[in-house]
Amino acid sequence: MVWGPLIAGYLFLAGAAAGAYLTAVLVERLDPEARAMRFAGRILGLVLLGIGLVMLMIDAEAGLKNPLRFIYLVMNPESVMTLGVYFICVFMAVDFATCVLEFLKKPVPGALTIVGSVFAFAVAAYTGFLLGVVNDYPLWNNSVLPILFVASALTAGLAAVSLVGMFAERAAFEKMALLKQIHIGLAVLEGVALFALCAIVYSNSVEGAMAVSSMLTGSYAGLFWVGIVAVGLVAPLAIAVAELKSENASESGFGLALGAAGEVGALAGSFCLRLIVVLAAVPLILV
């Protein structure tokens, strides 16, 4: 296995960071007064990505031992990894500036938000393409994976910000039905993408079939069915649907706990997805 949990963690955190930032943008649109959620999204954008980058650097042993070498990361614009570095740099700079303005209670210029959103999306998408361009691993090298990763990134960001909203700004949060609708929409999209990924990868190569089998019935079956499907997709989906249907359920303590559980589940599922995709991939053998 080329990469392990550290890189899975990085992919998850980078996606969640971008998702959180984008959620903040949306929250700003929906309710300019919901400052906690907005601010949280922006801060999470920085913090999660920061932690992710630390994990990335720990995994890159030669760089860790000689940190100055990380400067060379910008050298090869042909590499998705270098592109990612560009995206991350711009995104983090914008997010940082946004946070400073937010902290100083100054208005954030619309143009900055647009740039930030574009690069946040780029960060979310690049984590998918980083793996997607690796021809060698059928589980990675397909057009579904980036979609799945983007959906999962947005879900994770949304979930993180929702958690904050639930506890810090409950009233405002409850009014934003669109967030839950998006949540549901993303979960459905993810489910479909996951199914498509398995079906396509399974049928296209022996190694792909091996990878998918290990996910569905083999050594990663627990992680897949419990972590991704049950905890990460079905449960949050069910909870979100239930919440949408029963207007005031979430006002109870139980409702809050359930809602929070759903969001935590979505986060966990998003991490499990990265983990399984990193670990279960089987390379093509050319002999």
Interface residue list for other proteins (CB under 8 A): 2-3, 56, 59-66, 69-70, 72-76, 78-82, 85, 131, 133-137, 283-287
Closer by beta carbon to other proteins, 132 or else 262: 132
Tokens representing 187? 């979960």
Closer by beta carbon to other proteins, 56 or else 163: 56
Q: How far is the CB of 65 from other proteins (least distance, A)?
A: 6
Closer by beta carbon to other proteins, 71 or else 171: 71
Q: How far is the CB of 53 from other proteins (least distance, A)?
A: 12
Q: How far is the CB of 250 from other proteins (least distance, A)?
A: 44
Closer by beta carbon to other proteins, 78 or else 247: 78
Residue 194 burial by Cβ neighbours in a 10 Å radius (0-12, 13-18, 19+): buried
Distance CA 19, CA 67 (A): 28
| CA dihedral of 53, 167, 191, 135, whole degrees rounded to 10 | 0
Instruction: Show Cβ contacts of residue 262 under 8 Å, excluding neighbours closer than 6 positions.
Output: 159, 235, 236, 239, 240, 243
Q: How far is the CB of 95 from other proteins (least distance, A)?
A: 22
Distance CA 5, CA 149 (A): 16
Closer by beta carbon to other proteins, 65 or else 105: 65
Q: How far is the CB of 267 from other proteins (least distance, A)?
A: 26
236 close to 263: Cβ distance less than 8 angstroms: yes
Identify the CA nearest to 179 among candidates 17, 39, 13, 19.
19
Closer by beta carbon to other proteins, 155 or else 214: 214
Identify the CA nearest to 183 among candidates 152, 205, 211.
152
DSSP secondary-structure letter at 285? -
What letter represents residue 149's amino acid? F
Instruction: Show Cβ contacts of residue 278 under 8 Å, excluding neighbours closer than 6 positions.
Output: 1, 3, 4, 5, 7, 8, 11, 131
Closer by beta carbon to other proteins, 101 or else 221: 221
Please provide the DSSP assignment of 159-193 as one string.
HHHHHHHHHHSHHHHHH-HHHHHHHHHHHHHHHHH
Closer by beta carbon to other proteins, 62 or else 171: 62
Q: How far is the CB of 66 from other proteins (least distance, A)?
A: 8
Q: How far is the CB of 228 from other proteins (least distance, A)?
A: 22
Q: How far is the CB of 277 from other proteins (least distance, A)?
A: 12
